[in-house]
Structure 1
Amino acid sequence: MTTGEQTAARAAQRTAAPSVGQGPARRTAAAARVGRVTAEMRLIGGGLPGRDGIAAFNRMYLTVTEELERRLAAGHFDGRTATAELGAAFAERYLDAVRADTAGHRAPACWRPLFRMRRHPAVHPFQFALAGLNAHLGHDLPLALFDTCRALDLLPDELEGDFERIGDLLTGLEERIREDLMPGPDLLDVADPLTHLAGSWSPERARGGAWAAFRGLWALRAFAPLLEEAAEGLDATVGFAGRCLLTPLRS
């Protein structure tokens, strides 16, 4: 099933199903999902060689889910069920892509460049991590926002604060990727291709694009064929950007 078909099917299911509410039980269940996601990401990382492209992204993203899990356990976010729900739905989309690729199935187009190039010796670890973040922010986040609104019977404006909370964690991730994986200034200069690539992608612009894409998908929620088409287009567009980010830079 394609990304667009999955989105349309989930929209239809949510239309037919009543809301399950946002009480403590739902919040606890969502926090438990975040814990399971974190545990699965640790397993994924433990089974991959360090130079693998998925491993490069997984290591960085694991720090986000661990921090989200810690904050949920400490009672941050003012008891917001939606923040836990969004965080879980968001991370699960990355894991769905990994599971699909591992099983030999077709992953979303936005993730395919990273899966295909993950062992290329001329692609820098920074590129792998950035391409993963591009796929996750550009494609997975809008669809996770859509799913969360449906699951909790919310309107987009009611989810904006939760979107900002998750987005702040991801901005910190992008900063860590640059700090940990970019070569030091003594190894780079203004003409270095990696320098130009690093400046071509912005987490702030990606976050803004994700929110706009979500609002567009939400406006089409009652029109399954158009919703499917829009989701497919988003997937393909983000995948194209991923291919550019993974351009081999070393011979």
Structure 2
Amino acid sequence: MEPRTLPEVVTALDAIVRHCEQTRHRAGYFAALYKRMTEAVAAGIAAGAFEDGPRMEQLDVVFAWRYLRAWQAHGRRAACPAAWQHAFDGCPNPALVVLQHLLLGINAHINLDLAVAAATVAPGPRIHALETDFNRINAVISALFDDVQQCLEQVWRPMRWLSRVAATQQTDVLNFSIGAARRAAWANAVLLASLPPDRRPAHIGGMDATVHRLGQRIAQPGPWPAAVLRLVRLTEYEDVARTIRLIETTRVG
């Protein structure tokens, strides 16, 4: 059933998280992260962090519905966007590290879904009034990633040492990916909003193909990164349900 409010979105995401936790399904990694993102946005709306709270809730609901529909289609073995199909198909792959699973979900949802959701909520010239709140959501979400990094340190112990070494170099790969993806999503949202409705499906199809290729590079990043990731994978703590719970609950401090 399509959600209408953010509490309904959180309930739907929680059902996916609990299902993945029980079945040891790695799709739960991104679902747990996305649930926390949604809760953070809801808290930001309640605190008056956005210019237009109701519009931001509408955006977040439309945004979430694209993910929920893709997940439901995957469960029925029905067609879904290629970027999501690639992310879900990677879940049984034991060679992928936890960070790759998270980035595959982030890639599909932000690089593809966010632009479509923004253009749907604010079509035509209305898209420009959304820009401030669209950018403001970065600050709300980026606050989560200290928690996510601490979670990953519990899954792969050497990350604690690497984090200390890189602390002054701003090399947080998740924050960088979120920021870069959201900038690209905004550019695509403005373009989509300006297109006539009959031209949007073709453009969205082209976006999906591009995002799918980015997902392939996340899963198969090249010889040198792949060699490093193999070493990471060999020493990761392998417990899917535990990792899902860590992503969902880890707090810094």
Class of the TM-score when normalised by the shorter of the 2 chains: 0.7 to 0.9
Q: Is the 8 A contact 2:108 2:215 kept in 1?
A: yes
Q: Normalising by structure 1, report the TM-score.
A: 0.73
Q: Which residue of 1 is the match for residue 86 of structure 2?
A: 113
Percent identity, please.
Answer: 28
In structure 1, the partner of 2:209 is 236
Query: 1:88: how far off?
Result: 1.2
Q: Find the counterpart in structure 1 of residue 179 from structure 2.
A: 204
User: Residues 100 and 219 of structure 2 are in contact (CA less than 8 Å); yes or no, is this contact kept in structure 1?
Assistant: yes
Cα 1:173–1:139 shift into 2, 3 Å: farther
Q: What is the distance in 2 between the residues matched to 1:86 and 1:200?
A: 21
> Given the alignment of the two structures, is residue 128 of structure 1 paired with residue 123 of structure 2, yes or no?
no
CA contact (8 A) 2:40 2:141 kept: no
Q: Please name the residue that 1:162 is paired with.
A: 133
TM-superposed CA distance for 1:171, in Å, is 3.1
**Map of 1:36-55 to 2, 5 A cutoff?**
36-49=8-21, 52-55=25-28
Displacement after TM superposition at 1:186 (Å):
3.8
Distance 1:113 1:197, change over 3 A: farther
- 2:41/2:141 contact within 8 Å kept: no
Letter in 2 for 1:164: N
TM-score by length of 2: 0.73
Q: Which runs of 5+ in 1 are unaligned?
A: 1-30, 191-195
Amino acid at match of 2:201: E
**Alpha-carbon shift at residue 215 of structure 1 (Å):** 1.3
Q: Which amino acid aligns with 1:35?
A: P
1:112 to 1:146, Cα distance in 2 relative to 1, 3 A: same
SS of the equivalent of 1:106 reads coil
Match of 1:217 in 2: 192
Secondary structure in 2 matching 1:104: coil
Deviation at 1:32, TM superposition (A): 5.3
What's 1:81 paired with? Answer: 54
**3-state SS of paired residue (1:52):** coil
Give the secondary-structure state (helix, strand or coil) at the position aligned to 2:5.
Answer: helix
* Residue in 1 that maps onto 2:68: 95
- Could you list the per-position Cα deviations for residues 34-61 of structure 1 after superposition, in whole angstroms to 9, with x for gaps in the alignment? 1111001111111114753210101111
State the secondary structure of the residue aligned to 1:45. Answer: helix
Structure 1 residues 244 and 116: CA distance shift in structure 2, 3 A: same
SS across alignment from 1:135: helix
Corresponding residue of 1:21: none
